[in-house]
Amino acid sequence: MLEKKEKMVMLFLSEICSGKKSYLISAGQIAEFVSRKYILSIAELDEIMLTLNKDNYIDLVFSDGKKGYFYCISLKNKGLTFKKDLVKHRKEMVMLLLRTLGITVLSFIVGLILKAIFA
């Protein structure tokens, strides 16, 4: 599973690259989006991008042009379904919490009934 900063970067990339085969984006644009919650350096962003590349979320090419430092990004299948997987994971966690809460309440009620019968 991805870390918090990696999830934020991947969320941004999946939003911006959703309708395109490949996308050219600067490191500053990604850092600006992520900086709403986290402080992110360019070196750390490079490490995150390489991790996403190794985990088969994106295809990545580094580009250093006259106007600065850019990434050429293409989303792979895992990257295209990232948002759906994130929603599915949250839904599973909510269901797990509700199931645990239901079992706890049921156990408490059974305990009270047994206490009333044998007391």
What's 4-80's CATH class? mainly alpha
> Would you state the pLDDT for residue 99?
98
The gap from C-alpha 37 to its chain's centroid, in whole angstroms, comes to 14
* Residues above pLDDT 70, as percent of the chain: 99
In this structure, the strands spanning 58-65 and 23-26 are unpaired
Residue-wise pLDDT for 88-107, tens only, equals 999 999 999 999 999 999 99
Q: Which residues of the chain have pLDDT under 70?
A: none
